[in-house]
Chains A and B, each alone.
Chain A
């Protein structure tokens, strides 16, 4: 029986998928959590609880923003490293095209989602203490 491609990839599927979808998952988490915190916080009175001049709603939002941005940045880093490993060494004909494509796409996608999370974080600074 004939032997199939592909040759084993130097980067694991898990890392590729994390790089590809990590930013999107981080953004989804950020939007949903921010929406819930704002709705629930404003409804339950969290916005009246203040630490260091900033409401509990805003502290919570800042915390999830930092977490989400860190996750998206990690996805970018993984994609960057994966692309470097996949493109180094082998001649173009021998390079695993799909994996390189996923790594590059992950780089762009997670980068874009990091940007969106950053933009979504800006309003928190303008609406401090406001519902």
Chain B
């Protein structure tokens, strides 16, 4: 065996996942984890579908007793929650995690171990959701869990299963969001500038950013509600100054963007399939990308249109009506772009395109009813009727599930290496399309005729049996469409025709590698010269010497550690070689720790919850701790010289820096949601602080809170000293920063213990404590980061431009943010009661 062959063999071995059953828990590669996300999501989808069929059987005839009201409530809760939280978002995240690195020419995602952690957290969250069926109390408050129905007074432990399971799924969603955003910004192939990104990649990038903001709000809301339930806080308890409407605001600030979080990737899928089917580039590329951006952005300004009947001022509602109507314009741009792309061509009428055409028809119908319900007087008439059920199923099944099926028929040949059977595909499409319309179209009429949703039966006098029976029959036809798809998947997966690299003659990079792709995806990093890299005629080619040098150096290399090319976010010019983490059990252990904490809260075994958190933190610290042996191998590899690029980078060149920026974005949103809750409760309270509680002490608390900016200042000095190599000054600065942080933490805890009220006193008291607790959580995390930095800097202070410098920089970002947050917390909790 020659040296080159030996290196190639080692390269393949380095990228191969660990073998055997135990190795299954250590895999961190994007491809197997992406597939696991998709398969797990489809299992949950099947469960949600069965629940839907059971509900349709119940509603098939009037006065039916097949299901009782309690079971019906549980089924519609679990059906909606499953489809929204356990299927749609995780499935699309899985598809993105699998496809995006292939599509942009990367060997993996930015933080492979985070992907593993995300998957396990998602799986355990889903299991907690469904464990409620075994434990007894199944969630029954709807997928929206409105308070006070979901509060401690009117619901049982089922809602705790719902909240804790959902919290885990949210953490999984957020981590996957960070993964997607950083991967798309940093790992695009040389030359794949922003204006050359595939539209699916654009859609996923926008979705990733939306996830960071939307899921954080839901995370805050679910934690607040669980605190109301488990610790007796009063945030949503109107009797103690709380607000049940606040839950709706927080929930829908997540809930409306959530619809677009699943719709935008779906439109990305459609854009890819339309262009390939028409065999020409997508029309109005810039307009479509901008419309994705517009849709994503505007979706955060529409949440109130779910609350038109809650008694908000007329003027408020009118703003949200206007914004709701405008989002139709953004979606309309895409619809016209798809039609324009297909116009005048002779497209290939394969199954993916059929599903796309089905999507176009159904989504336009769902969009039109969406514009109707954006208008306040119309919404008042049909609110909480089956018209709304019809509308959102047209949007969600027509607008999301059809593109998902289209995407699966399109990309499964790449994933499995075999083509799906065309005839079975046709059967699957027509059964799904006909079944869907027979099920959901009559619901528009039933809604107009006054049939309320979420009610387990209806009297025969309403004369709706015919429509309902048709809907029930349709739902089974729809279900058969799904069964045929699964049969097709199984049969074709074993005996289907070999797909080859590019069965559709498509244009994007994933079609340039073998089917199924190897674990490393690309032997050498690709270079892109146009928007449609596999199609000719992309315009002038500009050779980039640095990209060519990096490409040559990274061919089958490095052979004993995982790495990919990292580029700049805007121009996709080569910036560095990025080390990627290898297999590890630690992410799975961290997820186990978090699930133990959730189960501890569920069982009110708080010692178990505490142990779970400690275990999870330990696993994360161990996972993040740098492997000195590996770092030495990298330092002596000479790859940086060969590629002309650094391996250890800092600032915006580093993925860790971008990861921290995403975390700070999430943190910004979390504090924002808490401050919003505080001022919302304040706005509607006649007295403040509520219940004649004393206003907080200004002077002593000012001293406590000033300690954090002082600590941040000391760290700033330490960081500057680090850059100048002044060892003593670094140690003094870091030690000072740690001591000041510790002093703040201890004094704040003492201050909270000395308060003359408890968190259970009223909503003001609850928020006062909770916001301080969240700050303490950040201080604790920052404290650990500072201590870790001190421990490393004592050994490696000379490494001013390498890995250590990055750690100092990331710690600085987090710690300065925490100090800034402390200033805001002080202003909100301590100063504002004296001012407003």
Contacts and interface: CB of A to CB of B under 8 A. Distances in A.
Interface of A: 1-6, 24, 27-28, 31, 34-35, 38-40, 42-43, 57, 61, 92-93, 96-98, 100-102, 104-105, 108-109, 112-113, 115-116, 119-120, 122-124, 126-127, 130-131
Given A34-B319, A38-B313, A130-B315, A27 B301 contact: yes
B542 interface: yes
B326 A115 contact: yes
Contacts of B574: 4
B315 A42 contact: yes
A116 B298 contact: yes
Contacts of B540: 92-93
Interface string B573-609: 1100000000000000000000000000000000000
Contact of B314 (A1, A27, A116, A130): A130
Contact of A101 (B194, B315, B320): B194
Interface in B71-123: none
A70 B298 CA distance: 19
B316 interface: yes
A93 B297 CA distance: 33
B575 to A, nearest CB: 8
B304 A35 contact: yes
Given A6-B573, A127-B314, A108 B286 contact: yes
Interface in B148-203: 193-196
A98 B195 contact: yes
B791 interface: no
Contacts of A119: 322, 325-326
15 contacts: A2-B545, A2-B644, A4-B544, A28-B297, A42-B313, A43-B684, A61-B315, A93-B539, A100-B195, A104-B286, A112-B290, A120-B322, A123-B321, A130-B314, A131-B313
A101 B315 CA distance: 38
A31 to B, nearest CB: 5
Contact of B313 (A4, A39, A100): A39
Nearest to A108: B290
A40 B290 CA distance: 34
Given A27-B298, A31-B301, A109-B293, 9 more contacts: A6-B571, A38-B316, A101-B193, A101-B195, A113-B297, A119-B326, A123-B315, A123-B322, A131-B314
Nearest to A91: B540
Most buried by B among A43, A98, A109: A98
Interface string B709-746: 00000000000000000000000000000000000000
B375 interface: no
Given A6-B571, A38-B313, A101-B193, A123 B318 contact: yes
Interface of B: 193-196, 286-287, 289-290, 293-294, 297-298, 300-301, 304, 312-316, 318-323, 325-326, 329-330, 539-540, 542, 544-546, 548-549, 570-571, 573-574, 644, 683-684
B684 to A, nearest CB: 7
A97 B546 contact: no
Contact of B318 (A40, A101, A126): A126
Contacts of A116: 298, 322-323, 326
Contact of B290 (A42, A96, A105, A130): A105
Nearest to A116: B326
Contacts of A105: 286, 289-290, 293
A65 B380 CA distance: 28
A39 B301 CA distance: 15
Contacts of A57: 315
Contacts of B684: 43
B322 A43 contact: no
A124 B196 CA distance: 42
Contacts of A98: 193-195, 570-571
A31 B314 contact: no
Question: Which of B196, B314, B321 has the most chain A CB atoms closer than 10 A to its own CB?
Answer: B314
B677 to A, nearest CB: 14
A108 B287 contact: yes
Contacts of B325: 119
Nearest to A99: B570
A102 B293 CA distance: 12
Nearest first, the 3 A-B pairs at minimum CB distance are A101-B195, A123-B318, A93-B540
A2 B301 contact: no
B313 A92 contact: no
A119 B644 CA distance: 53
B542 A109 contact: no
Contacts of B322: 116, 119-120, 122-123
A130 B314 CA distance: 8
A97 B571 CA distance: 8
A108 B313 CA distance: 32
B553 to A, nearest CB: 11
Given A5-B571, A35-B304, A115-B326, A24 B319 contact: no
Contacts of A5: 542, 544, 546, 571, 573
B696 to A, nearest CB: 23
A127 B546 contact: no
Given A3-B546, A5-B573, A119-B322, A97 B193 contact: yes
B316 A39 contact: yes
A125 B194 CA distance: 41
B549 A124 contact: no
A35 B542 contact: no
A24 B294 CA distance: 8
Given A34-B319, A108-B287, A102 B301 contact: no
Contacts of A3: 545-546
A23 to B, nearest CB: 9
B439 to A, nearest CB: 35
Nearest to B316: A38
Contacts of A28: 297, 300-301
Contacts of B297: 24, 27-28, 113
A27 B326 CA distance: 12
Contacts of A122: 322
Contacts of B549: 2
Nearest to A101: B195
A29 B508 CA distance: 38
A28 B195 CA distance: 25
Contact of B319 (A4, A31, A101): A31
B111 to A, nearest CB: 25
A56 B545 CA distance: 63
Nearest to A115: B326
Given A4-B573, A35-B304, A97-B196, A92 B316 contact: no
Contacts of B193: 97-98, 101
B318 A97 contact: no
Nearest to B329: A112
A131 B290 contact: no
A31 B286 contact: no
B323 A31 contact: yes
A123 B316 CA distance: 10
A113 B294 CA distance: 8
B544 A131 contact: no
A66 to B, nearest CB: 16
A5 B528 CA distance: 14
A113 to B, nearest CB: 8
Nearest to A100: B195
Contacts of A39: 312-313, 316, 683
A127 B312 CA distance: 14
A57 B316 CA distance: 11
Contacts of B573: 4-6
